[in-house]
Amino acid sequence: MEVMFILIGFSLAAATGFLVAFIWALKRGQFDDLTTPAIRMLFESGSRKKDDAKG
Amino acid sequence: MAIESFKYDNVIVRNFTLATLFWGVVGMFVGLLAATQLFLPELNLGFGPTTFSRIRPLHTNAVIFAFVGNAIFAGVYYSLQRLCKARMYSDLLSKINFWGWQLIILSAALTFTNGITTSKEYAELEWPIDIAIAIIWVVFGWNMFGTIIKRRERHMYVAIWFYIATFITVALLHVVNSFELPVSLLKSYPLYAGVQDALVQWWYGHNAVAFFLTTPYLGLMYYYLPKAADRPVFSYRLSIIHFWSLIFIYIWAGPHHLLYTALPDWAQSLGTVFSLMLIAPSWGGMLNGLLTLRGAWDKVRDDPVLKFLIVAVTAYGMATFEGPMLAIKSVNAISHYTDWTIAHVHVGALGWNGFLTFGMLYWMVPRLYGTKLWSTRLAEYHFWIGFLGILAYAVPMWFAGITQSLMWKQFTPEGLFQYPNFLETVLQIVPMYVIRAAGGLLYLTGVVFGVVNLAKTARQGALIREEAAEAPALESRHPDKGQDSYKHRILERKPIVFLLVTTVVVAIGGLVEIVPTFLIKSNVPTISSVKPYTPLELEGRDVYVAEGCYNCHSQMVRPFRSETERYGEYSKAGEFVYDHPFQWGSKRTGPDLHRVGKKYPDAWHWNHMIDPITMSPGSIMPRYPWLAEQQVDPDGTPAKVRAMQKLGVPYPEGYDTLAVADMRQQAEVIITGLGDAGITADPQSKLVALIAYLQRLGTDIKVDTAAQGQ
């Protein structure tokens, strides 16, 4: 069962790492471009002919 | 930048669509059959494989993994190709994914009806099929990541994140919950026992809802809703925030399935707190979906696709509000073990999953076949009949759940039970079961309309097997290294990194919650009087598991006066240390059985199992006459004892060689007793073993109390 101690250590380290990465990312302005992806997905490159169909 | 031409694979999408519809009808029909048996038990036709306790798991697995599962694959295979501007990574993997999944479903139908089950809810499949699921799931993930890696669109749209989280977490949950020791080809015991098994199971069970019924469908919502409405999602920022918070919080909420049980209190409170927090990210998703239609609500009036999608999102919002409420301990004290839970899950299943599936299919199938929907009017009928079906299902179940729970808890001014007979509280709600079945029938009728409509749509068009598309090739490195290349962009562009981060986020919740209960011995107080099951009881327990008794009977007396008065001393964690698997159950269609041992004579049990009505007039329990005829195979018993020894159950060394003799001896005692009551019984019959088990249930601790009293 000693492996559980290793797992706890690993998960705590990972949790800390994730938190640090998240704060760092936030400060770097990660959430800036939040407009174009939402619009881009509406356009299909492949089905141009049929994309005019209603619905 | 060279423009590349390529083709989308629509055949695989069509195949998964067909499977979705086929298994949807089958799964819902089985559900209707199960629902009807709750007021017409004879409808099992006196046949084991069609009896409620065996087809209820068949229903849940069929609608979750066959209907919803195939719909996920259909939706992901369609949207992922288009979002990545790439064909699926490998046609062969797509085919293996498809046929493998259908074979797994088929094996589920065959094993469940034949009583081959692990009894862990929504994870009932036995070990060889568990391995097959893991393999096919990895094939799916391989195909998905392959596609993501060769994508022609740098940015990973929000839907893809949800798909990735789904893949990772379901893999993790499935593997951890399926640690089991095979005894034979189709029988295994879980490594965990009792309270630990319960915690792992409901960590899985809750997250199966979260990561099989929720996250993939949120991904589908983020693709199909903007597409159908032809407008971008309300807030892309919100989609990012609620994605991360959702996956981080969901993984901790599992213990809310075990409130007031023998699970340690701290774990229960943790589950409650995180369940309440879940409202925020859940409603983030719902609001994002609903607000996508801001200023375009007029479209909903004319378009059945949007009607389905909007009601789906609304049902999601209702279910994710109700869920946290049910996770509050004082509400759970009333709702748990009742039909309220059934109402709750069906708002989610019929509303959120069912309606989103059909909204998606009504939008997607005409595009696959290069045509228009055959009949908008029929789709409208489907919508309204399905909508009425959901109401006619959920409302009576809410009513039934609260009614029955309050009846269980009602004392007279003298302090006696107002309804001492459990059966009385069941018969009170039988009319609700009738209305519920009618609701299910309405919903299924709508689904049949949908199948007809989609079949006609397919017939009037022609499948575009290979859909041509073109897009610029992706540059190998993204050039902008300035302040624009912020962290999240990097994550989005590196799927493997993203995969790891998601795994970590999800693993933290699970590990921190489960690991301590393994380590902290005080969480499972050992009670000296609790002894391993005798071989006959062990065999009887396996009969209990195989017949699916846990579908209607709990084995967990909660520490309320209304339960200790009715059933006996409340259940302690230490009583379950030899229970591989745990049998706490989640629903009391019949009474709790944890203290049923020695409550009734053996002959009572015998007659009750042959025909419950002879002992409890009006009972809706099915008859189990085949248990008197079928025999326990004594050749398998030593292996079972050895397996239990491996799992830490302290049978004496070499006990497996004595097990069969002990089993015979104990059976003889029961047979003699039954003979005195005028019953001729086969000592090797499954029913004798089952009686031995039932008479043992919860009695160890009574011995202890008696000993202390002297």
pLDDT tens sequence across B613-639: 999 999 999 999 999 999 999 999 999
* Mean pLDDT to the nearest integer, B141-156: 88
Q: Give B528's pLDDT tier (boundaries 50, 70, 90).
A: confident
CB burial string A11-45: b at 16+ within 10 A, e below: beebbeebeeebeebeebebeeeeeebbeebeebb
Residue B188 in 3-state DSSP? strand
Residue B411 in 3-state DSSP? strand
Residue numbers in B near A33 (CB within 8 A) = 484, 489
* pLDDT higher than threshold 60 for residue B3: yes
Chain A's closest residue to B223, CA to CA, is A41
Q: What is the DSSP string of B541-566?
A: HHHHHHHTGGGT------SSHHHHTT
Lowest mean pLDDT of A26-35, B71-80, B323-332, B376-385, name the range. A26-35
Q: State whether A46 and B469 contact (CB < 8 Å).
A: yes
User: Most B CBs within 10 Å: which of A6, A12, A44, A45, as the mutation test of the B interface?
Assistant: A45
Q: Dihedral (C-alpha) B387, B388, B391, B394: value to the nearest 10 degrees?
A: -90
* Mean pLDDT to the nearest integer, B65-91: 96
Of B230, B367, B512, the CB nearest to A42: B230
Q: Give B651's pLDDT tier (boundaries 50, 70, 90).
A: very high
Residue numbers in B near A9 (CB within 8 A) = none
Of A1, A17, A32, the CB nearest to B519: A1
Chain B's closest residue to A26, CA to CA, is B487
Q: How far is B488 from chain A (nearest CA, A)?
A: 5
Residue numbers in A near B200 (CB within 8 A) = none
Burial of B19 from C-beta contacts in 10 A (0-12 / 13-18 / 19+) = buried
Of A8, A29, A32, the CB nearest to B511: A8
Distant-in-sequence contacts of B186-190, Cβ < 8 A, 24+ apart: B186/B111, B186/B116, B186/B126, B186/B128, B187/B116, B187/B126, B187/B542, B187/B636, B188/B118, B188/B126, B188/B127, B189/B580, B189/B581, B189/B640, B189/B643, B189/B644, B189/B647, B190/B118, B190/B120, B190/B580, B190/B581
CB pairs under 8 A between A and B: 110
Q: Give B493's pLDDT tier (boundaries 50, 70, 90).
A: low
Residue B494 in 3-state DSSP? coil
**Predicted pLDDT of residue A4:** 37
Q: State whether A24 and B518 contact (CB < 8 Å).
A: no
* Mean pLDDT to the nearest integer, B390-411: 96
Instruction: Write phi, then psi, for B253 (nearest 5 degrees).
Output: -90, -5
**Predicted pLDDT of residue A49:** 45
**Predicted pLDDT of residue B494:** 64
* Residues B667/B531, Cβ–Cβ less than 8 Å: no
Q: State whether B305 and A39 contact (CB < 8 Å).
A: no
Lowest mean pLDDT of A51-55, B137-141, B163-167, B582-586, name the range. A51-55
Element at B402 (helix H, strand E):
helix B376-409
> Is A12 within a domain?
yes
> Is A23 within a domain?
yes
Torsion B239-B242-B245-B249 (CA) sign: negative
Token pair for B612: 């419950």
**For the segment B66-77, what is each residue's pLDDT rounded down to a tens digit?**
999 999 999 999
Q: Position B278: which residue type? A: L
Token pair for B467: 């859909």
If phi > 0 it is left, if psi is from -120 to 50 it is alpha, else beta; for residue B337 that is left
Cα B373 from Cα B382, distance rounded (Å)? 13
Q: State whether B82 and A46 contact (CB < 8 Å).
A: yes
* pLDDT higher than threshold 80 for residue B518: no
Rg for chain B, CA atoms, rounded: 26
Q: How far is B289 from chain A (nearest CA, A)?
A: 13
**Predicted pLDDT of residue A26:** 63
Q: Give A3's pLDDT tier (boundaries 50, 70, 90).
A: very low
> Is A36 within a domain?
yes
> Is A20 an 8 Å CB contact of chain B?
no
* pLDDT higher than threshold 90 for residue B117: yes
Cα B41 from Cα B52, distance rounded (Å)? 8
**Predicted pLDDT of residue A5:** 44
Q: Give B210's pLDDT tier (boundaries 50, 70, 90).
A: confident
Q: Position B281: which residue type? A: P
* pLDDT higher than threshold 60 for residue B707: no
Residue numbers in B near A6 (CB within 8 A) = none
Cα B214 from Cα B313, distance rounded (Å)? 11
Chain A's closest residue to B160, CA to CA, is A41
Of B85, B483, B486, the CB nearest to A25: B486
* Residues B89/B147, Cβ–Cβ less than 8 Å: yes
**Predicted pLDDT of residue A10:** 42
Residue B524 in 3-state DSSP? coil
Q: Is pLDDT larger for residue B407 or for residue B190?
A: B407
* pLDDT higher than threshold 60 for residue B129: yes
- Within chain B, what is the greatest distance between any pair of CA atoms? 91
> Is A8 an 8 Å CB contact of chain B?
yes
ipTM above 0.90, yes or no: no
**For the segment B291-328, what is each residue's pLDDT rounded down to a tens digit?**
999 988 999 999 999 999 999 999 999 999 999 999 99
Could you say which DSSP state residue B373 is in?
A: -
CB burial string B401-431: b at 16+ within 10 A, e below: bbbbbebbbeeeeeeebebeebbebbeebee
* Residues B532/B34, Cβ–Cβ less than 8 Å: no
Q: How far is A36 from chain B (nearest CA, A)?
A: 9
**Predicted pLDDT of residue B648:** 84
Q: How far is B380 from chain A (nearest CA, A)?
A: 14
Percent of chain B at pLDDT exceeding 70:
91
Q: Give B191's pLDDT tier (boundaries 50, 70, 90).
A: confident
Q: State whether A25 and B487 contact (CB < 8 Å).
A: yes
Bridge partner residues of B587 (DSSP)? B337
* pLDDT higher than threshold 90 for residue A16: no
* pLDDT higher than threshold 80 for residue B585: yes
* pLDDT higher than threshold 80 for residue A21: no
Cα B533 from Cα B651, distance rounded (Å)? 9
Q: State whether B486 and A39 contact (CB < 8 Å).
A: no
Most confident of B164-178, B189-203, B266-280, B507-521: B266-280
Q: How far is B569 from chain A (nearest CA, A)?
A: 33
Cα B683 from Cα B664, distance rounded (Å)? 7
Rg for chain A, CA atoms, rounded: 22
* pLDDT higher than threshold 80 for residue B586: yes
Q: Is pLDDT larger for residue B460 or for residue B270?
A: B460
**Predicted pLDDT of residue B515:** 60
User: Most A CBs within 10 Å: which of B152, B487, B512, B524, as the mutation test of the A interface?
Assistant: B487
- Domain of residue A28: give its range: 2-40
Residue numbers in B near A25 (CB within 8 A) = 486-488, 491
CB atoms within 10 A of CB B298: 9
CB atoms within 10 A of CB B99: 13
Cα B324 from Cα B273, distance rounded (Å)? 9
Of B155, B363, B508, the CB nearest to A37: B155
Cα B318 from Cα B169, distance rounded (Å)? 24
The residue to which tokens 């909204």 are assigned: B359
* Mean pLDDT to the nearest integer, B180-197: 88
Instruction: Write phi, then psi, for B106 (nearest 5 degrees).
Output: -60, -45
Q: State whether A34 and B236 contact (CB < 8 Å).
A: yes
> Is A19 within a domain?
yes
Cα B624 from Cα B639, distance rounded (Å)? 27
Q: Is pLDDT larger for residue B265 or for residue B76?
A: B76
Q: Give A53's pLDDT tier (boundaries 50, 70, 90).
A: very low
Residues of chain B by 3-state class (helix, strand, coil), percent to 5: 70, 5, 30
Token pair for B237: 């920022």
* pLDDT higher than threshold 90 for residue B105: yes
Torsion B143-B145-B151-B153 (CA) sign: positive
Beta strand pairing call for B3-9 and B466-472: antiparallel
Q: Give B516's pLDDT tier (boundaries 50, 70, 90).
A: low
* pLDDT higher than threshold 60 for residue A6: no
Cα B511 from Cα B369, distance rounded (Å)? 46
Bridge partner residues of B469 (DSSP)? B6
Q: How far is B346 from chain A (nearest CA, A)?
A: 29
Cα A24 from Cα B628, distance rounded (Å)? 67
> Is A51 within a domain?
no
Torsion B57-B63-B64-B66 (CA) sign: positive
CB atoms within 10 A of CB B241: 15
Q: Position B163: which residue type? A: Y
**Predicted pLDDT of residue B295:** 85
> Is A11 an 8 Å CB contact of chain B?
yes
> Is A23 an 8 Å CB contact of chain B?
no
Q: State whether B240 and A31 contact (CB < 8 Å).
A: yes
What chain B holds in terms of domains, given with CATH numbers, is 10-513 (1.20.210.10), 535-709 (1.10.760.10)
If phi > 0 it is left, if psi is from -120 to 50 it is alpha, else beta; for residue B295 that is left
**For the segment B221-237, what is each residue's pLDDT rounded down to a tens digit?**
999 999 999 999 999 98
Whether residue B255 has a cis bond before it, omega within 30° of 0: no
What length does chain B have? 710
Q: State whether B470 and A55 contact (CB < 8 Å).
A: no
> Is A16 an 8 Å CB contact of chain B?
no
> Is A27 within a domain?
yes
Q: Give A54's pLDDT tier (boundaries 50, 70, 90).
A: very low
Q: State whether B512 and A8 contact (CB < 8 Å).
A: yes
Torsion B161-B167-B171-B173 (CA) sign: positive
Number of compact structural domains in chain A: 1
Q: Position B46: which residue type? A: G
